[in-house]
Amino acid sequence: MLFQSIHLQDKICDVRIEGACIAQIGPAGTLSERTGEEVREGGMLTPHFAEPHVHLDATQLGARTPNMSGTLQEGIANWAAVRDTLVADDIQRRARKTIGWYRNWGCTRIRTHVDTGNLTAVEALIDLRDQLKDEVEIQVVAFPQEGLLKAPGQVEQWRAAVSLGCDAVGAIPHFEHDLETGWKTVQMAFELAEEFGLALDFHCDETDDPSIRNLEEVCRQAKRRGNGSQVIAGHCTALHSYPDDVAAQVIADVVEAEIQVVTNPLDNIVLQGRFDGYPKRRGITRVDELWAAGATVGIGHDSVVDPWYRLGTANLVDAAHMLVHAGHLTADADMRRVFRTLCDDNHRCFGGVDPLQEGRVANVLYWPVDDPIEVIRVRPRPEVFQHGVRQH
């Protein structure tokens, strides 16, 4: 395969793929077509996308569990009502369908949260992770959807899930009875992660309540233990509603702790602000201010046709498109940074993105447009090359 006059990392180049690798990269016009070689001219090459936050145990259940109020609380209740009825074959079938959608849109790394209230689901997704390891890299987060200290047995199930072979430890401190208990579960998560040598991934402060301040405790623990690069705080929507001076201090803590904040704009534009009169809050975390302070941000799809979000295509550009609008990130530089996040900072929990360089594996997306802004505007389907082979 030969790509001529292609946009690659802010340069216009010729790129040749041979076998599974990127064989040559040269200035535009320097690589000539060989006999039998397929050629694309113009457009853009990028790395594959990575998904840092989705729920594959609940995916494709949206029609079975319609969320009539559109609230986070009803989504959790609807999920809890069906969770214990789920069997492994159904969980894997639904997850495979959504993973197929992700791959068709160019995403081959997926971090999924799995509710530790159903150990069958934990085992099913760990098994699926291992089955699909040659096609897609999956990480499984042990996620106690209904908290750790709200009911008997929750901690034991959570620990059991981690011991089954999860890749990261999760918690949901804002769902506990009070702030003190939430902070305690943050500490418990750090301790369990240290015990098993795992990363951490919190559902953190997914609320409009400005008094909820669990992100501060996540930062304190990460700074004290020196493992912030292994920590993600997802959602962080309460940050949207903090007074500006409080938000500035918390954002400074995030930067100092070196944790990553993952925003989930499709879900949170729907779930947040439900109890507001007009004007209604957007409820999406302060991405612009996090970036301005030097924080690392990721963008997740979060829900794909599930009890929280009935819509969803597993196309991360849809999440980027929503963030651009709801976050007022419509300056050219901001839109390009939003797109770049999908194929750069989203890879952080997977050890970083594999650069597009000579000699590296040819996991690339070919876009028929030459500007990330056009990708966000038009949302075309890329041609997906994995190990040099075009996927269909």
Question: How do residues 191-225 score in pLDDT, each as one tens digit?
Answer: 999 999 999 999 999 999 999 999 999 999 999 99
Q: How confident is the model at residue 107 (pLDDT cuts 50, 70, 90)?
A: very high
Cβ neighbours, 10 Å, residue 246:
14
CATH architecture of 2-42+355-390: Roll (2.30)
Domain spanning 49-350: CATH superfamily: Metal-dependent hydrolases (3.20.20.140)
Torsions phi, psi for 122 (to 5 deg): -60, -50
Contacts of 318 (CB under 8 A, 6+ apart): 266, 301, 312, 379
- pLDDT for residue 200: 98
Average pLDDT over residues 317-338: 98
- pLDDT for residue 37: 93
Q: Are 220 and 183 in contact (CB under 8 A)?
A: no
pLDDT > 80? residue 33: yes
Q: Dig out the tokens for 340 from the structure.
A: 């770049």
Average pLDDT over residues 114-127: 97
Report which residue type is found at 367.
Answer: W
Reduced to 3 states, what is the DSSP secondary structure of residue 291?
helix
Report which residue type is found at 279.
Answer: P
Enzyme catalytic residues:
206
pLDDT > 90? residue 343: yes
**Exposure letters 69-87 (e unless 16+ CB within 10 A, then b):** eebbebbbebbbeebeebe
DSSP state of 316: H
| Helix or strand (DSSP H, E) at 33 | none
Q: How confident is the model at residue 72 (pLDDT cuts 50, 70, 90)?
A: confident
Chain mean pLDDT for the chain: 96
- pTM for the model stands at 0.96
Q: Are 282 and 269 in contact (CB under 8 A)?
A: yes
Cβ neighbours, 10 Å, residue 120:
15
Residue range(s) of every CATH 3.20.20.140 domain in the chain: 49-350
pLDDT > 80? residue 371: yes
Q: How far apart are CA 392 and CA 383, in angstroms?
A: 8
Contacts of 298 (CB under 8 A, 6+ apart): 52, 53, 232, 260, 261, 262, 263, 341, 345, 346, 348, 349
Residue range(s) of every CATH 2.30.40.10 domain in the chain: 2-42+355-390
pLDDT > 90? residue 230: yes
pLDDT > 90? residue 392: no
- State the pairing for strand pair 107-115/168-171: unpaired
Q: What percent of the chain has pLDDT over 90?
A: 95
Question: In 132-178, which residue ranges form alpha helices assigned H by DSSP?
Answer: 154-163
Lowest mean pLDDT: which of 61-70, 163-172, 290-299, 347-356? 61-70
Reduced to 3 states, what is the DSSP secondary structure of residue 204?
strand
Q: Is the dihedral of CA 82, 235, 177, 224 positive or negative?
A: positive
Q: What percent of the chain has pLDDT over 70?
A: 100
User: Helix crossing, 179-196 with 154-163: angle to 10°?
Assistant: 30
Q: Dig out the tokens for 66 from the structure.
A: 């319609």
pLDDT > 80? residue 305: yes
| Helix or strand (DSSP H, E) at 6 | strand 2-8
